[in-house]
Structure 1
Amino acid sequence: MKKVCILILFLSFNVVFSQNTNCFDIARKGSLAEMKSLFEKDKSIVNAVDENGSSMLILACYRGNHEVAKFLMNQNADLNYNSKNGTALMACVVKGQYQLVDELISKKANLDLTDANGTTALMLAVQFKNVEMVKILVAAGANKALKCKQNKTAFEYAVFSNNEEIINLLK
């Protein structure tokens, strides 16, 4: 009897582990149909977090899996979930995912959350010298006065980068 219980426990663990692995793989590079199929089986996975602390939405945004990211947003994924590496918005900014940034802004994602270093999405856009992303975030109301843990604002990062266009956007 003890062996049967251990076997059942082992098989249950493998099923749960493989399901979570699949959902994160699908978030990264899977299709919308795969995500919908997985979601039909278990809606509670919408805010699942992987072993690195990233949500499926962050992974989909970082990898540019637009359809899956939009699906997760429409299924009430936590837009403001903040991993040690930041939020879905930050992932989009780093990877230049303009459509997903627009989608997150339209769904009222918090523009001013910070990662573990106190860096905001606007600061990341400045650091990556992405003028268009800076324009989008400033127009959406990102707080230009916030300071990171190094006590720098987005403007100070812009001055350091010597990018006149970004400096002028942040004045």
Structure 2
Amino acid sequence: MRNLIIALSVFLGSFLWAQEKAKSIFDIARSGTVSEVKELMKQNPDIINQTNENGFSPLILACYRGNVEVAEFLIDHVKNVNYKSKEGTALAGLSVKYNKKLVEDLLKKNADPNIADDTGSTPLFWAVKFGNKELIELLLKYKADKSIKDSMGMTPFEYALQTHKEEIINILKK
């Protein structure tokens, strides 16, 4: 009986240790590698389209966390680059944690720059609030709508006026 208890303890201990070591697709999206994503996809090809308990997709997490290689892979393989959590899309995440290449990749894959988060803010709002002139120009090139109003009833231009940044104000005046 004692040997059975010891064997069972060893088995359960190694099982729990293995469970702790196994990374989820969301862990990998944040800080893993493309090969880890591919390995999980062998077991479940649709795993990259799942969402976590907070409603975030692996693509949103990879973009926001700056995991460029994984984000690039996901941009090419997810079903919907426009998936929206309550915080917005992957493009919105990149409006906060800017990476020009990833923004361009998403926009070339038809990411919609006019999808608003739960506050009514589109990526253009965030680009204006963060004073990111390059991103503002890029979003406008891909038809970001300057006339959208957020939940406060304000447009990106009105936020630009609050920043007192003439370059940004002038871009949005056009």
- TM-score scaled by structure 1? 0.86
Q: Deviations over 1:38-80 (max 9, x none)?
A: 1122111121101111000000000111111111121134211
Secondary structure of the 2:116 match is coil
Decide whether the 8 Å contact of 2:25 with 2:48 is kept in 1.
no
* Equivalent residue, structure 1, for 2:64: 62
Equivalent residue, structure 1, for 2:6: none
Q: What is the aligned length?
A: 156
Matched, 1:150 2:152: yes
User: What amino acid maps onto 1:28 in structure 2?
Assistant: R
Alignment equivalent of 1:108, drawn from 104, 110, 117: 110
Amino acid corresponding to residue 168 of structure 2 in structure 1 = I
- The structure-2 alpha-carbon separation of the partners of 1:143 and 1:32, relative to structure 1 and needing over 3 Å to count, comes to same
Relative to structure 1, the CA distance from residue 146 to residue 66 in structure 2 (aligned partners, 3 Å threshold; closer, same or farther) is same
**Partner residue of 1:170 out of 145, 169, 172:** 172
The question of whether the paired residues in 2 share the 8 Å contact of 1:57 and 1:77 is answered with no
Q: Give CA deviations for 1:5-62 in whole Å, capped at 9, x if unaligned.
A: xxxxxxxxx9xx9799511000000011111111122111121101111000000000
Of 24, 36, 39, the match for 2:41: 39
Give unpaired runs (5+ residues) of structure 2: 1-15
Equivalences for residues 113-132 of structure 1 within 5 A: 113-132=115-134
Structure (1 or 2) with the larger CA radius of gyration: 2
Offset of 1:97 from its aligned partner?
1.4
Distance between the aligned counterparts of 2:79 and 2:31, measured in 1? 18
Match of 1:87 in 2: 89
- Preserved CA contact (<8 Å) 2:33 2:70: yes
Separation in structure 2 between the aligned mates of residue 164 and residue 66 of structure 1, nearest angstrom: 32
RMSD: 1.8
CA contact 2:81–2:111 (8 Å) conserved in 1: yes
Q: TM-score, normalised by structure 2?
A: 0.85
Unmatched segments (≥5 aa) in structure 1: 1-13
